[in-house]
Structure 1
Amino acid sequence: MRIAYPKSFLKLLLIGFALIILPLLFAFGNAALYLDNLADKSRATVTNSVLATRASRSMVEQLTMMERSARQYFVLHDGQLLENFSRSHDQFKRTLAQLSNLPIGQTQQDALHDLITKESALYDEVITTSVDTINTKQVIAEFIDLSTLAQHIVVENNQLIDQQAMALAKTTELTQKKLVSQALTLLPVALLVAIAITFLVAQPIRQMDAAIRRLGEGDYHEPISIDGPGDLHNLGERLDWLRSQLEEVDQQKQRFLRHVSHELKTPLTAIREGSELLKDEIGGSLTPQQKEIAGIMQESSLRLQKMIENLLNYTAVQYQKPQLKFETLQLVDLIKQILAEYALTLTSKSIVIRLDFSDTQMMGDHEKLHTVFDNLISNAIKYTPASGHIKISVKPRDDFAVFEIHDGGPGVIAADKARLFDPFYRGNGVYESLVSGSGLGLSIAKEYVDAHGGEITLLASEHGAHFRVRLPLRPESLKIGNVEAIST
């Protein structure tokens, strides 16, 4: 399923940023709302507690002042004391009215109503009854009852304040839990959105990286399509256009190589045959100097023929699957046959071949394995100096035939190791790398070894180049993949 992307990469980033920030903004807004409600509750609780405490203290004080004024009035019969008693009564009523307006429980409301009723009755009794006939002890006892009732109301107010404080603490704890739970819910949501946006952003970039990597590796067959914003999709279309252009250029190169190789092969055959006739003195005897020149011509024609054959083999490998004609091979005999072909060169350079052979019989394609070992041996001879030595070993090991060759040349420099088996790669110097010449020998060798299900590697060595080839001994142990094997 194709993902619907916006038209530009910038728009995708802005949408992603918005989707990531929205859950966080919601969390911050919700937290601010919770905290604002909590602050309002805290403010109301503190205000009511202060008013209730202040009114309760004022109520007790006014009741005490009323009792003191009444006692003094009963003793001194002074009208000013009665006025003080009346003022305290008015202040007492206002204080009880404030308490009644506060958010208190029904029990406290009933107690306040009882207190107001009893205090009003006592006030009327003190005001209307003559001081000579009033029952002083009874009045004082009623004041004591009022004080007890007032103290009870004060205690209940304190308990109510404590309950409101506990309720506020529970509300605070509940709010904290809600905020934590909200954060634990929204943060993963924001994280998932961030991961999704990252995937949407990274996917077209990965596709472009893979496409460019394939182009760099010379794979021009798979079309390039970038699933992404409009501008990146357009860039993918330009890359696909570049792929098609490179594919056409590559095909032209391959056609050129095939045509040139075939065109050169015919005159080269004539040159080689002519040099061999001269060397064999068919046209007449030659002087030593002429023989040397004829030998140089023959050796150069052989080298040129080998380079042309490598070009033909390379183009064949590029355009069709290698078809292997399996037959029973004596690997030691094959190596000895190749060494015999270079006997003249080995003698002229006084190169010593140190052999470590064990009888090794395997199933393989004779022609292609001849090409593999011929390339490795010719490279070793080429880069081994005069009077040097080359070590060659052939042994069976764990259902594999293992061929190793270690020359006495300068070896492979570090800069060439990574691209040693790349086609046409020649290295940084003619005598510092094993990939001089056409640069196809090792590439073709690797193609044929891979077709046999084996591997060719360059081993670490302090001096000289040390190659190892591992080939399966039997066809049933081959890992051919797409290679078509033909048993004979």
Structure 2
Amino acid sequence: MTTRLTRPWRPRSLFQLVLLAFVVVMLPLGVLMFQAGQVLSELSRLADVSARQAVEETRRARTLGALALELERSARQYAVVEQESLLEIYAERLEEYRAVLAQQQELLGEERDMAVLERQLEALERLPALPIEVFREQLAVFPAFAERTDVIRRDTNRQIDSRIEAIRERAETVQVRLWLQTAALVSASLVLMLLFSWLIIRPVRQLERRILGIGSGAPRDAVKPVQGPAELVQLDERLDWLASRLDELEAEKQQFLRHMSHELKTPLASVREGSALLADGVAGELTPRQLEVLEIIDASGAELQRLIEQLLDYNLLQHGRQVPAERMDVAVVVREVLAKHRLALASKGMAVNCFDGPLEWSLDRTATVRILDNLVSNAIAYGADGGELEIRARRRRNRLELEVANSGEPIAEADRPRLFEAFYQGRVRRKGPLKGSGIGLSVAADCARLQCGRLELVAETRLAVCFRLTLPMPTAELSHSRMLALEEGHHARN
């Protein structure tokens, strides 16, 4: 027996299972959204920092160009007017240039252009200490200095472009990674959705099979218990209780029918035996009036016995008893049924028209006799006195149509939808002292159904009532006939 420690955990209710399914399915999507947010935040931060750095570095490069121009202007003015204040301005601008260049050197690093610019700055620092004639001669270094400053500006722009390209490549890499993660996590969510759908649908389908098993009368031992949420497990237990209760009721019904048939048939046999002894003159000669009463008693006993047998047959047919089919002459079966009702037909004064045989067909003899017996009995009970009873048979390609028609009062339209219901009796009453049970046509319809056929009321132009029994050809015989037809067609083509 599975212990509490080794039993796998399962949601206790359908609500818990659905909630768990929702949480687990949303978990990969939540992870995807979190990762996408992190990546977008990182790219946004990187783009913001790069933009700020680019603006700052571009501003410093422009400042270097402006300071280089002011250095040259102040030096040339000093060479003309020789004022010491211009040298002070020159020294301040040179100091500012060095400070800005030091910041820019962090971006560019130790490049060759930066080293050349450092040597030019050292030469420019020595200018104020030179004699004025030499000072004027050294002014020729400023164009080269301006050109080198412009090179620094171009290098700065190139570094900024490289950084932007690196950010773009990083964004493309992140995009590809996000697509792969999206595909993986969405696939995982779909797999989880299918898994939880199966976990929810599986016990429902088990319950469906259980209900179908109860309806078809399958043994309960072969049914596996439902595994799933508590509500569905509890429903399975209720179905188990229902199946047990139905079995009990069925057993009680079978027992009641057995007892009823025994209790009814035993005194009925005594009554019929006594009436037969009286008819044979064991107790003395009987007057014609007494014989007439005795015949009524005997006929009533036979009718009661037939009703009891119909009731038992109806119970057996409701359980779907399989019927064996055998090939026989349908005309012989019909004549046997008519011979059984010969006296009743003669007393009714009905003229019988029956098709000529032979007509071979595969059918269940007992079930077919029950159908014909009920239809002929109904024709005698409800047909017109001195009327007509006609039995027709037609063999179609893969089915047999057998019709029993009689003259008399037609069946009301209101009664036709419920004509084959058990215990239903329509507006038209039986003629004679005996009353029917209302299950004759139901038994006949069930006998037709067990042979995969159907019994129906059809329209008839000449006679008032016409029932048609349609019996299909058995599957094995139908397949055999099709093979023969194919072979005949093949030989005909050859």
Distance 1:254 1:409 in 2: 34
CA contact (8 A) 1:258 1:315 kept: no
Counterpart in the other structure of 2:261? 261
Bigger CA drift: 351-360 or 252-261?
351-360
Per the normalisation by structure 2, the TM-score is 0.76
Counterpart in the other structure of 2:304? 304
CA pair 329-18 structure 1, distance change in 2 beyond 3 A: same
Answering whether residue 139 of structure 2 is matched by residue 139 of structure 1, we say: yes
Counterpart in the other structure of 1:126? 127
Shift of 1:336: 3.6
Shift of 1:314: 4.4
CA pair 348-285 structure 1, distance change in 2 beyond 3 A: closer
CA pair 17-473 structure 1, distance change in 2 beyond 3 A: closer
Shift of 1:247: 0.6
The one-letter code of the counterpart of 1:456 is G
Shift of 1:211: 2.4
Match of 1:456 among 447, 453, 478: 453
Counterpart in the other structure of 1:483? none
Distance 1:456 1:143 in 2: 117
Counterpart in the other structure of 1:191? 190
Counterpart in the other structure of 1:285? 288
CA pair 231-79 structure 1, distance change in 2 beyond 3 A: same
Counterpart in the other structure of 1:177? 176
Deviation string, structure 1 residues 458-481 (Cα, Å, up to 9, x no partner): 5695787754432547986699xx
CA pair 387-168 structure 1, distance change in 2 beyond 3 A: farther
- Unaligned residue ranges in structure 1 (runs of 5+): 480-488
Distance 2:299 2:88 in 1: 145
- Unaligned residue ranges in structure 2 (runs of 5+): 1-6, 429-435, 481-494
Shift of 1:324: 4.3
Distance 2:112 2:44 in 1: 31
CA pair 371-65 structure 1, distance change in 2 beyond 3 A: same
Counterpart in the other structure of 2:233? 233
CA pair 213-296 structure 1, distance change in 2 beyond 3 A: farther
CA contact (8 A) 2:444 2:455 kept: no
Bigger CA drift: 90-99 or 363-372?
363-372
Note the 1:216-255 alignment, pairs <5 A: 217=215, 219=217, 221-223=219-221, 225-255=225-255
Counterpart in the other structure of 2:426? 430
Note the 1:63-462 alignment, pairs <5 A: 63-102=68-107, 104=108, 106=109, 109-122=111-124, 124-136=125-137, 138-140=138-140, 142-215=141-214, 217=215, 219=217, 221-223=219-221, 225-269=225-269, 283-286=286-289, 301-315=301-315, 324=324, 326=326, 329-342=328-341, 359-378=358-377, 392-398=391-397, 400-404=399-403, 408-410=410-412, 425-426=422-423, 430-431=426-427, 437=437, 439=439, 442=442, 446=446, 450=450, 454-457=451-454
CA pair 320-145 structure 1, distance change in 2 beyond 3 A: closer
Shift of 1:197: 0.8
Distance 1:132 1:115 in 2: 24
CA contact (8 A) 1:220 1:244 kept: no
CA contact (8 A) 1:62 1:92 kept: yes
Distance 1:146 1:389 in 2: 135
Distance 1:404 1:269 in 2: 35
CA contact (8 A) 1:405 1:467 kept: yes
Shift of 1:229: 3.0
Distance 1:443 1:388 in 2: 26
Answering whether residue 64 of structure 2 is matched by residue 59 of structure 1, we say: yes
CA pair 365-412 structure 1, distance change in 2 beyond 3 A: farther
Shift of 1:200: 0.9
Counterpart in the other structure of 1:484? none
Distance 2:19 2:210 in 1: 26
What SS does the aligned partner of 1:362 have? strand
Bigger CA drift: 317-326 or 463-472?
317-326
CA contact (8 A) 1:74 1:131 kept: yes
CA pair 320-469 structure 1, distance change in 2 beyond 3 A: closer
Shift of 1:56: 0.9
Counterpart in the other structure of 1:485? none
Counterpart in the other structure of 2:483? none
CA pair 151-370 structure 1, distance change in 2 beyond 3 A: same
Bigger CA drift: 408-417 or 8-17?
408-417
Distance 1:83 1:212 in 2: 106
Deviation string, structure 1 residues 90-138 (Cα, Å, up to 9, x no partner): 2211211221223x4x57x44233323312322x2322112233243x4
What SS does the aligned partner of 1:469 have? strand
Distance 1:37 1:98 in 2: 26
CA contact (8 A) 1:400 1:472 kept: yes
- Percentage of matched positions with identical amino acids: 26
Distance 1:4 1:376 in 2: 63
Deviation string, structure 1 residues 151-171 (Cα, Å, up to 9, x no partner): 222222222222222222222
RMSD (CA atoms): 4.2
Counterpart in the other structure of 2:490? none
The one-letter code of the counterpart of 1:65 is E
Distance 1:169 1:235 in 2: 60
Deviation string, structure 1 residues 419-455 (Cα, Å, up to 9, x no partner): x68xxx446x6359xxx935475457545763xxx41
CA pair 189-261 structure 1, distance change in 2 beyond 3 A: same
CA contact (8 A) 2:325 2:362 kept: no
CA contact (8 A) 2:445 2:454 kept: no
